[in-house]
């Protein structure tokens, strides 16, 4: 009887092994790309998502792909002393002090020298445990032990509405993480259940672009904060928002690091958007991304020097900013040749993009004309666009006046 039961369990084990035998494939996955880039940047990541959507499975696959041992710690079932350390009295406390002994999982990570520490169920950890986690997440210290540089930290949490006895994250703990919203992708799930999951891999950093990436990141962040000083530190007034990403000197430093890594890796703007907004919040993050777009705009002086060969941005808002910059450059240093070159640029912009983008800069440029400046022949191609724009403005003004008078 025992032998028969053992044989049946062996067969069941073989079946379970076959079910767990999966493979991976290269596949575009923005969530996974954002996660691996943050891990490469050595920043703690917090995955937010509903229960059962694969946060834990993603971490297991990530650990395997990166060749890192995975250590899972369920934060909610631990005491604060499990992270701050347990006092151990030695032979002479007055001389040696009382060291704080780390738990076994921290000792194992330290011995391995590297690994992926997964703090699960973070939103169900009570405030006392969250307070004990502060040094672990920021300084990588557990009691008297400092985790080696090769250890990366990733956490997972469920929204309070779907967490068992959930708590809001404390602002100090929340401000130490890159927050990523983890959602299931239908195609990824279907493909994965068929035995093939997306392959996680660290981003490939271009060694030749490292100095350039650092310079670009610093210019982007410092340029924005110099123009918008109120964004340096903005603690949300809402309790739930305080438990997410918000701007502080610490989170801006994290954002700067992410911009540098994304630039050196040639990461997509979608991936960078997820990371930046998950670090300083949606509003400040979008402002930073917009500032970075403006940094990539061509220099107005270069465009005026070679208007015929100008390469204008495709995006309407960026093209509008370029044209406005060109007209402003002419206004600051008016010159007949520069004025003519600006008209050549406007004609080129009209022929290669939306004509309505030319209306305002053309009207402004026309107002800069001096009496002794002949009208260039190229301006004739813009006459219809400018007059049409003016008529549209007059109609809009009449409609607004009529609405104001109550008619």
- For residue 267, which of 322, 216, 198, 320 has the smallest C-alpha distance? 216
Element (DSSP H or E) covering residue 311: none
Helix axes 282-295, 269-280, angle to 10 degrees: 140
User: Looking at residues 291-303, what average pLDDT do you find?
Assistant: 85
Query: Domain boundaries in the chain?
Result: 21-87+100-198, 207-295, 300-404
CA 229/CA 225 separation, integer angstroms: 5
Confidence of residue 319 (pLDDT cuts 50, 70, 90): confident
Q: What is the pLDDT of residues 34-58, one digit of tens each?
A: 999 999 999 999 999 888 787 887 8
Q: Render pLDDT for 11-37 as a digit per residue (tens, 0 to 9).
A: 999 999 999 888 888 888 899 999 999
Which residue blocks in 266-335 are alpha helix, DSSP H?
269-280, 282-295, 300-305, 316-332
Q: Which CATH superfamily is domain 21-87+100-198 in?
A: P-loop containing nucleotide triphosphate hydrolases (3.40.50.300)
179/35 Cα distance (integer angstroms): 10
Q: What is the pLDDT of residues 213-242, one digit of tens each?
A: 999 999 999 989 988 899 999 999 888 899
Among all chains, which residue has been given the structure tokens 């340096």? 232
Q: How many CA atoms lie within 13 A of 12 on its CB side?
A: 6
Helix (H, G, I), strand (E, B) or coil at 302: helix
Q: Check residues 38 and 343 and name the one with the higher pLDDT.
A: 38
Angle, CA of 70, 72 and 77, to the nearest 5°: 170
- Percent of the chain exceeding pLDDT 70 equals 87
The answer to whether residues 194 and 269 touch, using CB atoms and an 8 Å cutoff, is no
pTM of the model: 0.76
The Cα–Cα gap between 148 and 170 comes to 26
């Amino acid at each position: 009887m025992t032998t028969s039961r053992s044989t049946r369990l062996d067969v069941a084990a073989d079946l379970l092994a076959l079910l767990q035998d999966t493979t991976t494939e290269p596949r575009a996955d923005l969530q996974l790309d954002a996660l691996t880039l943050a891990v490469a940047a050595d920043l703690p990541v917090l995955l937010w998502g509903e229960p059962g959507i694969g946060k834990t499975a993603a971490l297991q696959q990530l650990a395997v792909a990166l060749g890192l041992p995975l250590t899972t710690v369920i934060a909610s079932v631990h005491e604060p002393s499990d992270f701050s350390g347990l006092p151990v009295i030695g032979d002479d406390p007055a001389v040696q002090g009382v060291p704080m002994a780390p738990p076994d999982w921290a000792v194992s990570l330290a011995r391995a020298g590297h690994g992926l520490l997964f703090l699960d169920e973070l939103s169900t950890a009570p405030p006392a445990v969250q307070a004990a986690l502060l040094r672990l997440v920021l300084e990588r210290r557990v009691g008297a032990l400092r985790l080696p540089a090769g250890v990366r930290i990733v956490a997972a949490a469920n929204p309070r509405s779907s967490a068992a006895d959930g708590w809001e994250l404390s602002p100090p703990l929340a401000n130490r993480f890159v927050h990523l919203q983890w959602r299931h992708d239908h195609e990824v799930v279907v493909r994965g259940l068929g035995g093939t999951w997306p392959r996680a891999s660290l981003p490939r950093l271009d060694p030749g672009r490292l100095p350039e990436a650092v310079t670009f990141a610093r210019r982007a962040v410092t340029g924005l904060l110099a123009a918008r000083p109120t964004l340096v530190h903005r603690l949300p007034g809402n309790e739930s928002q305080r438990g997410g990403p918000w701007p502080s000197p610490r989170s801006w430093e994290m954002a700067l690091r992410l911009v540098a890594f994304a630039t050196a890796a040639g990461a997509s703007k979608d991936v960078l958007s997820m990371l930046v907004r998950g670090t300083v919040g949606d509003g400040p993050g979008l402002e930073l991304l917009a500032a970075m777009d403006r940094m990539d705009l061509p220099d107005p002086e270069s465009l005026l020097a070679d208007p015929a060969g100008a390469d204008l941005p495709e995006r309407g808002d960026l093209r509008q900013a370029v044209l406005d910059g060109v007209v402003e450059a002419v206004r600051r240093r008016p010159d007949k040749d520069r004025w003519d070159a600006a008209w050549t640029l406007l004609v080129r912009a009209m022929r290669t993009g939306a004509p309505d983008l030319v209306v305002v800069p053309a009207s402004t440029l026309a107002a800069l004309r001096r009496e002794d400046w002949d009208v260039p022949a190229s301006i004739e191609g813009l006459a219809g666009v400018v007059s049409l724009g003016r008529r549209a403005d007059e109609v809009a003004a009449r409609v607004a006046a009529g609405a104001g008078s109550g008619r």
